[in-house]
Every structure is written in structure tokens, then in C-alpha cells.
Amino acid sequence: MDFGPFLFLATLEGLVQAAVLCLTALGLSLVFGVMRVVNVAHGEFYMLGAVLAYWITSWISGNPAMGFAVALLLAPLFVGVVAYLSEKIILRRLGYDPEATIVATIGILYILQQTALLTFGPDARPVEPPLYFRVEFPWFGYSGYKLIVIAAAVILLLLAWFVITRTRLGLIMRATQFDRETAQNYGIAVDRVYAMVFAAGAAFAAIAAVLIVPIQQAHYLMGGDPLLLAFIVVIIGGLGSIRGTLLAALLIGLSDGIFSVFFSPTLAKMVSTTLVALVLVFKPEGLFGHRSRL
């Protein structure tokens, strides 16, 4: 294939990757930013979203778009509830101690993964895309649904951006992130904010998974890769910085797509991890992070 079309395909692939990564990493970044909790179970919330999408779509017969729309609504909601409960039952009792929460979220990771294995089973299961068409470029064909994923992610991200920066809810969240104690003094129910943020973070991962599952299939081990990439993005972007997270997701998604197409996916992962190492050495707070206020 010639260079032009090659680059075009690589960019498309990169954009799909970036779109999903933005949503996943945003959830992770939100949880860390507000709660200072490193959520190792984030990838499993993603997996749970995909598995639920499979279940919901297989229950609803008829037009695949119907089932998919219900899944896009219910799966993140259910995942949010699971996250909300695990925050209340586990993380809160640990007082959000950084080390303890890491161990606890590793525990949650295994509980979710093994529960999925025991109930959903070990097989990869396909989900019908809500609408499927093939876009025929002069040089190659491309899945139309992938283009829809990019568009959907952009809309969802704009929505999230609006909520965080323009609404009272967002203000409360940002206040809690900025200074927990002062926020509490101003009458903000910090505990409730934490629970909601943890649920919202997980729901973002679930939304990303529902969008991606018609491309990739649901599988109980699918949470590993997105977790790794989301961590890479959050570290490069700056822990807790939403703007940094989105830019880093775009950067990593695109570079991953382009390096994968032109060279090899293994090299793409090497480049991303090298970037992380460089950022940690030269700008530990991340490209857009602030030095922590201690």
C-alpha cells in the first residue's frame, strides 16, 4: 500500500484507539484526581461493561440497534452501582489510604474477573454492532461502525467536559479535588462525592467498553490492556488533570495506531512505555499535571 493511504488507515485506527482510550483514561484520572485512589480494578469495570453489553444485547431480540442502545444505557449504570457499592463497602473503610486502596482494588480486580469467569464463562462472545456498513475507500475498506465509535466518543467527552466545568456538580467535584477539608468546611458531603466519582469513573470505562465490544468481542480477560494503556495515559497527561488525560490519550492512541500499522504493535507499546519512563524522569507530575499540594 502507498504511503498516503497507509498513513490514512493508521490515523483512523489511531483515532478509534484514542477515542476509547480517552473515555477509559478519563474515568481513571477522575478517580485519582478527586480521591487520590489508584484504581487497579479499572480495567475490570471496563470488562464488566462489555460482558453486560453482551448479556443485554442477547436478551433483546430484533434490531441490534435496540439492544445496543439499552446496553449503552444500562451497562454503565449497573457498573456504576457495582463501583458505588465497592467504594462504600471497601475503600471507605480503608480511609482511602493509598497503599491499602491499591491492594484493595487488586482484590476487586480478581473478584470481578473471576465472577465474570464463573458466570459469563471463558469464551469470547460477539456483540452485533448497532448498525454495520462498510466504507469503501479507493485503497481499502473500513468498518463504518468504527467511525461511529469516534463520533460517539467525541460527543460523550464534550458532555463530560460540560458537566465537569460548567455545572454545579462539576464545581463540587473540582472543589473536593482541590482541597478536601476546605470543601467539607463549606458543607460539601465529601463522602458522597467520593462514592459518586468512583461510580462515574467506572461508568466511563463501561461506556468505552460498550462502544468497543461490537469491534472486539466480550471476554473475561479483556480488562488488562485498557488498564495498562489508561495508566500510561494518565501518567503522561498528569495524574488528575482532565485536559492532560485527554491530550495524552489522543497522543498515545494516535501514536499507538500509527506505530502499529507502520512497524509493529509491539514497537508501539515500547514507544508508549518509553514515553512514560521519560515523563517520570523529567516531568514526574506529567505533561499537564501540577506539583502535588502537600
Partner 1 sequence: MKQKKESSSTDVTGVSSSRRRTLKTIGTGIAAATAPVWFPRAYAASEPIKIGAQLHRTGIGASYGRWYERTATAAVNLINEQGGINGRPVELIVEDDGTDPKRGTEVLEKFATQHKVDVAYGTLFSHVVIGSSPRAGELKLPYVVCSEGHHVASGKLNRYVFQPGITDVRSQVISMAPWISQNLGKKVTMMFPDFAFGHDHRDYFSQAIAEQGGEVLELIAVPPTETSFTRYFPRIPRDTEVLYHVMVGPGVLTFVKEMGQHFGKKRPEIFGFIDSLEAVDLATPQLEFLEGTYFWEGNPRYAQADQSDFDKQYRAAVGVDGKGASLADPKDVSTYSHMFACWESLFIIKEAMELAGYRSVADKNAFIEAMESLQKFDEGLAHPQGNKIFNPKLHQSFGHQHISKVGADGSMEVVHKTSIEDGLYESDVDYTQMAL
How many chain residues interact with partner 1 (CB under 8 A)? Answer: 33
Residue 167 touching partner 1 (CB under 8 A): no
Closest to partner 1 by CB, 85 or 135: 135
Please say which residue, 37 or 116, places its beta carbon nearer to partner 1. Answer: 116
Among 35, 183, 261, 279, binds partner 1 (CB under 8 A): 261
Residue 155 CB coordination number (10 Å)? 9
Among 215, 228, 271, 287, binds partner 1 (CB under 8 A): 215
Q: Is 10 one of the binding residues for partner 1 (CB under 8 A)?
A: yes
Q: How many CB atoms lie within 10 A of CB 94?
A: 14
115 binds partner 1 (CB under 8 A): no
Rounded to an integer, what distance in angstroms lies between the CA atom of residue 60 and that of residue 56?
Answer: 6
Contact between 217 and 127 (Cβ < 8 Å): yes
Which residue's CB is nearer to partner 1, number 13 or number 87? Answer: 13
Site residues (CB under 8 A) for partner 1, limited to 176-195 = none
Enumerate the β-bridge partners of residue 135.
142
Look at strands 134-136 and 141-143 and give their pairing.
antiparallel
124 lines the binding site for partner 1 (CB under 8 A): yes
Least spacing, CB of residue 155 vs partner 1, in Å: 22
Q: Please identify, using beta-carbon distances, which residue of 179 and 225 lies nearer to partner 1.
A: 225
DSSP 145-198: HHHHHHHHHHHHHHHHHHHHHHSHHHHHHHHHHH-HHHHHHTT--HHHHHHHHH
